[in-house]
Amino acid sequence: MVGLNFKVRTISSLLQAYLTSKTYDNIKLNYSGKFFGKDLYDEVHLYAEKAKAIALMEQYDIIHAHDWLTYLAGINAKELSGKPLVVHIHNTAFDRSGGNPNPLEYEIEKKGFEAADAIIAVSDFTRNKVIKHYGINPNKVFVAHNGIIITDSQFDHSQFKIKEQDKVVLFLGRITLQKGPDYFIEAARRVLEHMDNVKFVIAGKGDMYHSMIERVAHMGLSDKILFTGFVPDEDLDKLYAMADVYVMPSVSEPFGITPLEAIRNDCPVIISKQSGVSEVINHCLKVDFWDINQLTDKIVNVLRYPVLQRTLREHGRVEINKITWDRTADKCIEVYHQVLSKI
């Protein structure tokens, strides 16, 4: 980071240094040749043990660990080096599970939050969960909203239409409880009671993927609700360009970058109020994830009224120009300075 008077090492960068160090083979022998864990949780603990060696090899002023997978490694690095620890929370065990957290993940998150000198959350929505569900002092939990890389859309929206007369409503994300695909499908069914020339596209994979396909087939809507499966990054902008409206009905969304990507591609968005991104954008339509009637009405209104659609596109595009990663980085640096000032 140019211009900073301190050195920050993220746990991921420390791992890279470890893997490329001249002493790598000797360090590995200290762990009886064990390099891969038997499962994810074993990997997390093994990673944390290896962080001890890394912490002693490297020079740095502050440690920054992202999400629960690296928290134990960050704690070990702090204990050995005496350097302050900042942990970043992108989504909690409560978000990933729909409110019933995995106890192992919850325990690691809680340890990380308690050991940290400062916590950076991606939204006030997430900050409040950290305080409420983990009993953390609010004074050490800060917010740095995510950002978006601004690019000019390279696509002619008309070339990606399924049929010229069809309107397209897009859902893009993991097909899991957290993302609310079941609410999207129910809203789609109700919209089709009012409008016939609409196709609903569900892009992504997840543990609810097959059950959602079966549900749509049972509803007799397989020709109206289409599943793409996994979509590679290079095709995402094309999907947004295809859509007349993007819907994110998440049950619990710590932030949610996809609405910003949609707006970047001149696609109006409807988002869940239960999301961090709803804190930073105003030129969109917002709805409680569970309110199928409101979601249905908002989809129909965007599809039926070109003026509303155009207004959301134009104002949304202007708004996201201010939601940059530079702003996020500045907030993180501000937290670093605050932590180091207390040493």
Q: Is 50 exceeded by the pLDDT of residue 334?
A: yes
Lowest-confidence region among 49-63, 160-174, 296-310: 160-174
Which pLDDT value is given to residue 9?
A: 59
**When comparing pLDDT for 337 and 41, which is higher?**
337
**33-42 confidence digits (pLDDT tens):** 455 667 888 8
CATH number of 8-147+325-340: 3.40.50.2000
Measured over the CA atoms of residue 218, residue 219, residue 224 and residue 226, the dihedral's sign is negative
**Distance, CA of 71 to CA of 109 (rounded, Å):** 7
Q: Please indicate whether residue 332 or residue 24 has the higher confidence score (pLDDT).
A: 332
Cα–Cα distance measured from residue 140 to residue 97, given in angstroms and rounded to the nearest whole number? 25
Check residue 165 and give its pLDDT: 78
Q: What is the pLDDT of residue 62?
A: 96
The answer to whether residue 322 scores a pLDDT higher than 80 is: yes
220-264 residue pLDDT tens: 999 999 999 999 999 999 999 999 999 999 999 999 999 999 999
- Is 3.20.20.70 the CATH classification of the domain at 157-320? no
Q: What is the mean pLDDT of residues 272-294?
A: 97
Confidence of residue 97 (pLDDT cuts 50, 70, 90): confident
Q: What are the residue ranges of helices labelled H in 258-324? A: 258-264, 292-304, 306-320
pLDDT of residue 39: 85
pLDDT > 70: what percent of the chain? 85
The answer, yes or no, to whether residue 143 has pLDDT greater than 80, is yes
More confident site: 202 or 15: 202
Q: Where are the beta strands (DSSP E) in the chain?
A: 8-10, 62-66, 85-89, 118-121, 141-143, 167-172, 198-203, 225-229, 245-248, 269-272, 285-287
Measure the CA–CA gap between 214 and 188, rounded to whole angstroms. Answer: 15
Does residue 283 sit in helix, strand or coil? coil
The residues of the chain that CATH labels 3.40.50.2000 are 8-147+325-340, 157-320
- Beta strands 225-229 and 198-203 are parallel
- CA 277 – CA 249 distance, rounded (Å): 12
Q: What is the pLDDT of residue 200?
A: 98
Name the percent of the chain lying above pLDDT 90: 76
As a whole number of angstroms, the distance between CA 114 and CA 108 comes to 10
Residue 27's pLDDT is 39
- Tell me what the mean pLDDT of segment 23-40 comes to: 51
Question: Which amino acid is it at 35?
Answer: F
Mean pLDDT of the chain: 88
Instruction: Give dist(CA 152, CA 317) in Å, integer.
Output: 10
pLDDT tens-digit readout, 152-208? 655 555 555 555 678 999 999 999 999 999 999 999 999 999 999 999 999 999 999
With a cut of 50, say whether residue 140 has pLDDT above it.
yes
Confidence of residue 310 (pLDDT cuts 50, 70, 90): very high
What lies within 8 Å, CB to CB, of 124 at 6+ separation is 143, 276, 279
What pTM does this model have?
A: 0.85
